[in-house]
Amino acid sequence: MAEEEDGLESFRSDVRTWLVENFPTSLAGRGAALMSAETIDSTEGDAFVWGQRLGAQGWATPTWPAEYGGGGLTQHQARALNQELDRAGAFNPLVRTTGMGITMVGPTILEYGSEDQKQRHIPRICRGEVFWALGYSEPNAGSDLASLSTKAEDKGDHWIVNGQKTWTSGADHAQWIGLLVRTDFEVAKRDGISFLMIDMNQPGIETRPIQLIGGESPFCETFFNDARAEKDEMLGDLNAGWSVGKRLLQHERQSQTGAISGVGSGKRKSLKDVAKEYVGVDVEGRLADPDLRSRLTAHLMDAKAHSLTIARVTAEARGNAKVSAAASILKNAASNVLQQRAELTLELMGHNGVGWEGEGFSKDEVNAVRNWLTGKAMSIYGGSFEIQNNIIAKNILGLPENTQRG
């Protein structure tokens, strides 16, 4: 154990030295702002240089196998790396600039992909060279995803894809998309689905951004009109896409629990500081409103418990890439914590927390109301709150299956 701790300290020292030599000081502490912006400069400037260096080192994907461009680190080393990144005010821009590549597509390719698929796709994700989108939901297949109708027809040496997807995050920026398609209409609906990886740079694909109430347009409608997918770009077996797709969603939920570190460093104002600034304190330094004080304390306890639970789950994983149904619990918990924080922030700011634009509101105040609106979607995307509860009931609590079939 002492030898392992010594090795970890040596690794930390190496990370600190590398950060001094490679992390642009102009980015220190700006991770949260850059990663939450509608766009991030990924083609030039210090953010681009930093992303290239981090990717070349393999530390944008620290636990992925080194032979494919990952860091090859243990879970303990990866955690130490993220702690050192935080300490330096650094962050991992490739989590954002690869779209769904690092958080969802890459881990699924590592598990289901052929050796050729891993060699072709994983190194480019590790280096941040490709932005991935995902095509799951359709206008008539949301929570009932198995009802999807986008189809892929076998044309011998390739597939031809026709149909429509919606809520495809970042599709207007993506170079590649992972797509659930129907390849057999004669079997039970979950048994006739396959997972294809498709090059977006072709005339048969059209994207239309969808503007949200928070002012951003992160989602698209995506149309496939005789789009082409190569035969060797099917992930997993023919008509086994339901299993591949479910596995990918587990990785998505894992990424939404707060367990993926290095997403965006940089300190944001704590709720306690927001309360002191907008509400004020009594002579004893406490919030004068006991009800507000009680609810704020309860939220901070929930947030701390969530953080400690993630740390425990991460430690217990010991580098194992498998994701369990427990990710559904953490995803719902993360939704609650995020939405509670947003609600409390607006309440603390009072009328200053409901401004949309104008000189009368600070940047933090405008962001507060936009984050409040945007955060409402967290309990819907990636599998709704209710869907997660069904997974928890079935796979963790062992309760009977519901009456739905398909």
Residues acting as catalytic residues: 252
Rounded distance between C-alpha atoms, residue 195 and residue 79, angstroms: 32
DSSP states of 201-270: -STTEEEEEE--TTS---EEEEEEEEEEEEGGGB-SSTT-HHHHHHHHHHHHHHHTTT-S-SS--S----
**Residue type at 369 in one-letter notation:** V
Phi/psi at 133 (5° precision): -115, 170
The CA-atom distances, in angstroms, between 19 and each of 32, 96, 121 are 18, 20, 27
The CA R_g of the chain, rounded to the nearest whole Å, is: 22
**Residue type at 212 in one-letter notation:** L
Report DSSP state, residue 358: S
Helix, strand, coil percent content, the chain, rounded in steps of 5: 50, 15, 35
- The pair of structure tokens assigned to 199 is 């090059």
Q: Which residues pair with 134 in a beta bridge?
A: 178
- The answer to whether residues 91 and 263 touch, using CB atoms and an 8 Å cutoff, is yes
**Residue type at 364 in one-letter notation:** D
Q: Coil, strand, or helix at residue 122? A: helix
Q: Coil, strand, or helix at residue 197? A: strand
Q: Are strands 151-154 and 158-166 parallel, antiparallel or unpaired?
A: antiparallel
What's the distance, CA 193 to chain centroid? Answer: 24
- The pair of structure tokens assigned to 353 is 């927390």
What's the distance, CA 189 to chain centroid? Answer: 28
- Contacts of 81 by beta carbon, 8 Å cutoff, 6+ apart: 11, 15, 59, 62, 71, 73, 262
